[in-house]
Structure 1
Amino acid sequence: MKRVVITGMGVVAPNAIGLDAFADAIKRGVSGIRFDPQLADLGFSCQIAGKPDVGEALALQYFSELELRNFNANGILYGVIAGLDAWQDAGLPLTPDTVDYDSGTIFGSGTSGIDKFRESIYKIDDGQARRLGSTAVAQTMNSGVSAYLGGKLGLGNQVTTNSSACTTGTESILMAFERIRSGKAKRMLAGSTSDSGPYIWAGFDAMKVCTFKHNDQPEKGSRPMSESASGFVPGSGAGALLLEEMESALARDAKIYGEILGGNINSGGQRAGGSMTAPNPDAVKKCIADAVVDAGISPADIDTINGHLTATAKDGLEIQNWSEALGRRGADFPYVNSLKSMVGHCLSGAGSIESVATVLQLHHGFVFPNINCEDLHPEIVSIVDKSRIPMYFIENTVKIAAKASFGFGDVNACVIFGAWNGAAPR
Structure 2
Amino acid sequence: MNRRVVITGMGITAPNGIGLPAFEIALKEGISGIRKEPELEKLKFRCQVAGRPQVTEEMLQNNFTSLELKDLNSSGIVYGVLAGMEAWRDAGLEGDSDETDYDSGIIFGTGILGVDKFREAIHLIDDKNTRRLGSTSVVQTMASGISAYLNSKTGCGNMVTTNSSACTTGTEAVIQAYERIKCGKAKRILAGSCGESGPYIWGGFDAMRILPYQYNERPQESSRPMSASAAGFVPGSGAGALVLEEYESARKRGAKIYAEVLGGHLNSGGQRNGGSMTAPNSEAVVRCIQKAMEEAGVSPGEIDSINGHLTATGKDTTEIRNWSEALQRKGNDFPLINSLKGWTGHGLSASGSMECVAAVLQIKNDFVFGNANCEDLHPDIKAITGRRNVPTKTHFRRVNTVIKASFGFGDVNGVVVFRSL
Normalised TM-score (structure 2): 0.99
1:149 corresponds to = 150
Instruction: Tell me which stretches of 4 or more aligned residues in structure 1 moved more than 4 Å.
Output: none
Query: Per-residue deviation at 1:295?
Result: 0.3
1:295 aligns with 2:306: no
Q: Would you say the 8 A contact 1:257–1:419 is kept in 2?
A: yes
2:169 corresponds to = 168
2:260 corresponds to = 259
Query: Per-residue deviation at 1:93?
Result: 2.2
Question: What are the superposed Cα offsets for residues 213-237 of structure 1, whole Å, 9 maximum, x if unpaired?
Answer: 1001000000000000100100000
SS in 2 for 1:269: coil
| Same amino acid, percent of matched pairs | 61
In 2, the alpha carbon distance for the partners of 1:57 and 1:69 equals 15
1:192 corresponds to = 193
Query: Per-residue deviation at 1:267?
Result: 0.2
1:281 corresponds to = 282
In 1, the alpha carbon distance for the partners of 2:253 and 2:361 equals 22
1:227 corresponds to = 228
Q: Would you say the 8 A contact 1:172–1:192 is kept in 2?
A: yes
Where structure 1 has 5 or more consecutive residues not aligned to the other structure, the ranges are: 421-426
Q: Would you say the 8 A contact 1:11–1:353 is kept in 2?
A: yes
1:419 aligns with 2:417: no
2:86 corresponds to = 85
Question: What are the superposed Cα offsets for residues 5-27 of structure 1, whole Å, 9 maximum, x if unpaired?
Answer: 00000000000000011011101
Q: Would you say the 8 A contact 1:271–1:280 is kept in 2?
A: yes
SS in 1 for 2:41: helix
Structure 1 residue identity aligned to 2:343: M
In 1, the alpha carbon distance for the partners of 2:311 and 2:94 equals 38
1:424 corresponds to = none
Q: Would you say the 8 A contact 1:49–1:344 is kept in 2?
A: yes
Normalised TM-score (structure 1): 0.98
Structure 1 residue identity aligned to 2:8: T
Where structure 2 has 5 or more consecutive residues not aligned to the other structure, the ranges are: none
2:403 corresponds to = 402
2:102 corresponds to = 101
In 1, the alpha carbon distance for the partners of 2:274 and 2:127 equals 47
Query: Per-residue deviation at 1:57?
Result: 1.9
Question: What are the superposed Cα offsets for residues 259-281 of structure 1, whole Å, 9 maximum, x if unpaired?
Answer: 00001000000000000000000
SS in 2 for 1:167: helix
1:335 aligns with 2:360: no
In 2, the alpha carbon distance for the partners of 1:352 and 1:77 equals 16
Query: Per-residue deviation at 1:129?
Result: 1.6
Query: Per-residue deviation at 1:96?
Result: 4.8
Question: What are the superposed Cα offsets for residues 38-84 of structure 1, whole Å, 9 maximum, x if unpaired?
Answer: 00110100000000011222111000111100210000010011000
Q: Would you say the 8 A contact 1:96–1:152 is kept in 2?
A: no
Matches within 5 A, 1:104-119: 104-119=105-120
Question: What are the superposed Cα offsets for residues 174-203 of structure 1, whole Å, 9 maximum, x if unpaired?
Answer: 001101001000000000000000000001
Structure 2 residue identity aligned to 1:381: K
Structure 1 residue identity aligned to 2:117: K
In 2, the alpha carbon distance for the partners of 1:184 and 1:403 equals 25
Q: Would you say the 8 A contact 1:319–1:383 is kept in 2?
A: yes
In 1, the alpha carbon distance for the partners of 2:374 and 2:15 equals 20
Q: Would you say the 8 A contact 1:79–1:237 is kept in 2?
A: yes
Structure 1 residue identity aligned to 2:348: L
Structure 2 residue identity aligned to 1:367: V
Question: What are the superposed Cα offsets for residues 335-394 of structure 1, whole Å, 9 maximum, x if unpaired?
Answer: 000000000000000000010000000001110011101000011011111110111111
2:4 corresponds to = 3
Question: What are the superposed Cα offsets for residues 105-154 of structure 1, whole Å, 9 maximum, x if unpaired?
Answer: 00000000110111001111111122211100000000000000111100
In 1, the alpha carbon distance for the partners of 2:265 and 2:420 equals 19
Q: Would you say the 8 A contact 1:401–1:418 is kept in 2?
A: yes
SS in 1 for 2:215: coil
SS in 1 for 2:32: coil
Matches within 5 A, 1:33-112: 33-112=34-113
In 2, the alpha carbon distance for the partners of 1:369 and 1:135 equals 41
Structure 1 residue identity aligned to 2:383: S
Q: Would you say the 8 A contact 1:75–1:195 is kept in 2?
A: yes
Q: Would you say the 8 A contact 1:96–1:151 is kept in 2?
A: no
Aligned-pair RMSD on alpha carbons? 0.6
